Homo-oligomer: A and B are copies of this chain.
Amino acid sequence: MGTMKALVFVGPGKIRLEEKPIPKVGPTDALVRITTTTICGTDIHILKGEYPVKPGLTIGHEPIGVIEELGSAVESVYEKGQRVVVGAITPCGQCFTCLDDRKSQCQGVAAGGWRFGNTIDGSQAEYLLVPYATANLQHIPEGVSDEQVLMCPDIMSTGFAGAENANVKIGDSVVVFAQGPIGLCATAGAKLKGATLIIAVDGIKERLVIAKKMGADITINYNHVDPVEEIMRLTKGQGVDVAIEALGTQGTFESCMRVLKPGGTLSSLGVYSGKLSIPADSFAAGLGDHKIITSLCPGGKERMRRLLNVVRSGRVDLQHLVTHEYKLDQIEEAYDLFMSQRDGVLKIAIKP
């Protein structure tokens, strides 16, 4: 086996492109040659040391590529050379937890289905070893570009889940706090599920413009208006049916609680650090029939198939979330851009 380039986590604040051996394929694995991948907000948490991973780990969890090699148990299911997209979360499908339909928590471990760039080497590399390949490789049909499906592995799957798991219904009002890539997809997901009043909140004007394209009926720039007050005004003091948190801070979480209708659902997508507080007043002292649900990105090939259906049907166009493109060789520059939120950057296509 030869070697490949891979972006590894060295230690808090430090990542580096290194040479690593191309991984060996076990019976239930597949080796995928990466053609496009991208950088996620979670990678930034990792880089900063806020979410701990083992030094030396290749990071990244959003793989698009071509099947290079197949394990013996997977050969009858796929063919070498097929273009595939793989979810950020790779459930095994066969453990007690997966069979109980809690697949993102594979093996009963918290976030256990999230392996790439977390517990095993990830996708910001020339090659990626995909475990449980039968459950996780989704063929990309002809005529669909890498860029069109680049949001499927994580951003789109997570964002949509924010609306799906909150059980958004026809005629619902929904607010989405933060309009980064995941929040934008939550906005799109709320629209896809039939919400009729979608309010998008952010502090960056360009993001609010895109939010409108993704389905927001109303946008709120928190630099100019107090979002809680404004949302209560827009809903005539009723609050919203569903509040989606797409950032991972105490402030946005608390704002979600404060605009929630009695009996409403707070759907949380953010990655938090430290304690999270629920103010008792916003919580009706526990008597408000509130639901707070958190969602980890759903994965597996069936999820990818459904998201591909969305892409191909044209219901949602996420290509314009891909604002920049870099070679893998320049990925450290790409990180710098992504962290700075300069130049209207949303998502960056990385090409090995």
Contact = CB atoms under 8 A, between A and B. Distances in A.
Interface of A: 27-28, 51, 72-73, 91-105, 108-112, 114, 132, 134-135, 160, 164, 169-172, 189, 192-194, 196-197, 217, 238, 248, 261-263, 268-280, 283-296, 300-303, 305-307, 309-310, 312-313, 315
Given A170-B189, A193-B193, 8 more contacts: A28-B73, A95-B134, A100-B302, A102-B263, A112-B262, A170-B310, A268-B286, A288-B294
A187 to B, nearest CB: 14
Given A93-B98, A101-B101, A302-B99, A73 B27 contact: yes
A287 B193 contact: no
A310 B217 CA distance: 12
Contacts of A93: 92-94, 98-99, 135
A112 B27 CA distance: 25
12 contacts: A51-B285, A92-B93, A94-B132, A94-B134, A104-B289, A105-B288, A164-B170, A171-B306, A196-B310, A272-B280, A289-B294, A291-B292
Given A276-B278, A287-B114, A300 B99 contact: yes
Contacts of A112: 262
Given A135-B94, A315-B196, A276 B284 contact: no
Identical copies of this chain, number: 4
B278 A286 contact: no
Given A93-B135, A288-B105, A303 B193 contact: no
A300 to B, nearest CB: 5
A238 to B, nearest CB: 5
A221 to B, nearest CB: 22
Contacts of A302: 96-97, 99-100
B261 A108 contact: yes
Given A112-B262, A306-B170, A194 B196 contact: no
**Which of A91, A93, A95, A193 has its CB near the most chain B CB atoms (within 10 A)?**
A93
A310 B135 CA distance: 30
Given A27-B27, A197-B313, A270 B286 contact: yes
A29 B274 CA distance: 45
Given A99-B302, A171-B306, A289 B296 contact: yes
Contacts of A194: 192-194, 310, 315
Given A110-B262, A262-B111, A274-B280, A287 B291 contact: no
